[in-house]
Amino acid sequence: MMTAKEYIDSLRKLNTRVYMFGEKIDNWVDHPMIRPSINCVAMTYALAQDPQYEDLMTATSNLTGRKINRFAHLHQSTEDLVKKVKMQRLMGQKTASCFQRCVGMDAFNAVYSTTYEIDEACGTGYHENFKKFLIMVQDEDLTVDGAMTDPKGDRSKAPHQQSDPDMYVHVVERRADGIVVCGAKCHQTGSVNSHWHLFMPTISMGEKDADWAVSFACPSDAEGLYMIYGRQSCDTRKLEEGCSIDVGNAKFGGQEALVVLDHVFIPNEYIFLNGEYQFAGMMVERFAGYHRQSYGGCKVGVGDVVIGAAALAAEYNGVEKASAVKDKLIEMTHLNETLYSCGIACSCEGCPTKAGNYQIDLLLANVCKQNVTRFPYEIVRLAEDIAGGLMVTMPSQKDFESDLPVGREGETIGEICRKYFATREGVSAEERQRVLRFLENMCLGAAAVGYRTESMHGAGSPQAQRIMIARQGDIEGKKKLAKNIAGIQ
Ligand code: SF4
Ligand code: FE
Distance 276 CA to ligand 1 centre (A): 29
Going across the sheet that includes 196-199, the strands are 144-147, 196-199, 214-219, 271-274
Distance 123 CA to ligand 1 centre (A): 34
CATH code of 427's domain: 1.20.140.10
Contact predicate 196/142, CB 8 Å: yes
Q: What percent of the chain has pLDDT over 70?
A: 100
Q: End of a domain among 262, 278, 294? A: 278
Residue 122 lies in a domain: yes
- Residue 299 CA: which ligand 1 atom is closest? 2
Residue 486 lies in a domain: no
In 306-357 the beta strands, taken as DSSP E runs, fall at 351-352
Same domain, 179 and 83: yes
Same domain, 268 and 312: no
Same domain, 143 and 205: yes
Q: End of a domain among 278, 310, 339? A: 278
Residue 487 lies in a domain: no
pLDDT at 423: 94
Q: Give tens-digit pLDDT for 321-379.
A: 999 999 999 999 999 999 999 999 999 999 999 999 999 999 999 999 999 999 999 99
Look at the pTM and tell me if it is higher than 0.95: yes
Residue of 40, 182, 218, 298 with catalytic role: 298
CATH code of 55's domain: 2.40.110.10
Residue 110 lies in a domain: yes
Q: Give tens-digit pLDDT for 35-90.
A: 999 999 999 999 999 999 999 999 999 999 999 999 999 999 999 999 999 999 99
Same domain, 116 and 206: yes
Same domain, 273 and 368: no
Residue 482 lies in a domain: no
Same domain, 419 and 366: yes
pLDDT at 439: 98
Residue 484 burial by Cβ neighbours in a 10 Å radius (0-12, 13-18, 19+): exposed
Same domain, 161 and 270: yes
CA distances from 212 to 130, 186, 220, 358, 437 (A): 19, 16, 21, 28, 45
Same domain, 206 and 251: yes
Ligand 1: residue of 69, 85, 103, 300 to mutate (most ligand atoms within 8 A of CB) is 103
What domain count does the chain have?
Answer: 2
DSSP for 108-123, written as a single string: HHHHHHHHHHHHHHH-
Q: End of a domain among 222, 245, 278? A: 278
Same domain, 103 and 197: yes
Residue span of the structural domain in which 47 resides: 4-278
Residue 444 lies in a domain: yes
Residue 489 lies in a domain: no
Backbone angle region of 197, left / alpha / beta, with phi > 0 → left and psi within -120 to 50 → alpha: beta
Contact predicate 108/133, CB 8 Å: no
Same domain, 164 and 290: no
Q: Give tens-digit pLDDT for 381-402.
A: 999 999 999 999 999 999 999 9
φ/ψ of 194, rounded to 5, equals -100, 145
**What span, in angstroms and rounded, lies between the C-alpha atoms of 126 and 112?**
9
Residue of 16, 31, 78, 102 with catalytic role: 102
Same domain, 216 and 358: no
Atom 1 of ligand 1, nearest CA residue: 102
Same domain, 362 and 232: no
